[in-house]
Amino acid sequence: AQSVAQPEDQVNVAEGNPLTVKCTYSVSGNPYLFWYVQYPNRGLQFLLKYITGDNLVKGSYGFEAEFNKSQTSFHLKKPSALVSDSALYFCAVRDRDSGRRALTFGSGTRLQVQP
């Protein structure tokens, strides 16, 4: 079985400050990990993914995430938040070693960036 936990329903940060959105995962084998962002009444937009290689993954709009196998985490980070980053963020996982190719999503974290 595969699962994702996003422990924070909401994260508040001031514009210009660094932000972190937390994600931990559970898979039987090795993970493929993804971050998506969703704006109101919109689809899921891809931000970044970890497949293999460097643990630090850089993605769209200045976001990055670090894969930590020992802590089974894949936290999303950005050095300087923008008001336009305010949205709903989903972490997702797929177990590389299972036959299931569908992604399993976390419950989402709402990021609110204050001006």
Partner 1 sequence: AAGVIQSPRHLIKEKRETATLKCYPIPRHDTVYWYQQGPGQDPQFLISFYEKMQSDKGSIPDRFSAQQFSDYHSELNMSSLELGDSALYFCASSLVNGYTFGSGTRLTVV
Q: Which residues bind partner 1 (CB under 8 A)?
A: 32, 34, 36, 41-46, 49, 51, 90, 94, 99-108
Closer residue to partner 1 (CB): 45 or 84: 45
The phi and psi torsions of 62 (rounded to 5 degrees) equal: 85, 5
From the CB of 49, what's the least distance to partner 1, in Å? 7
Q: Which residue has the tokens 């177990």?
A: 95
From the CB of 113, what's the least distance to partner 1, in Å? 20
From the CB of 11, what's the least distance to partner 1, in Å? 16
Residues listed for the chain:
115
Closer residue to partner 1 (CB): 15 or 88: 88
Closer residue to partner 1 (CB): 15 or 86: 86
Residue 79 CB contacts under 8 Å (≥ 6 apart), including other chains: 18, 62
Kind of pairing between the strands at 104-105 and 109-114: unpaired
From the CB of 21, what's the least distance to partner 1, in Å? 14
Closer residue to partner 1 (CB): 5 or 82: 5
| CA dist., res. 108 & res. 31, Å (int) | 19
Residue 41 vs residues 8, 38, 44, 45: alpha-carbon distances, Å: 21, 8, 10, 12
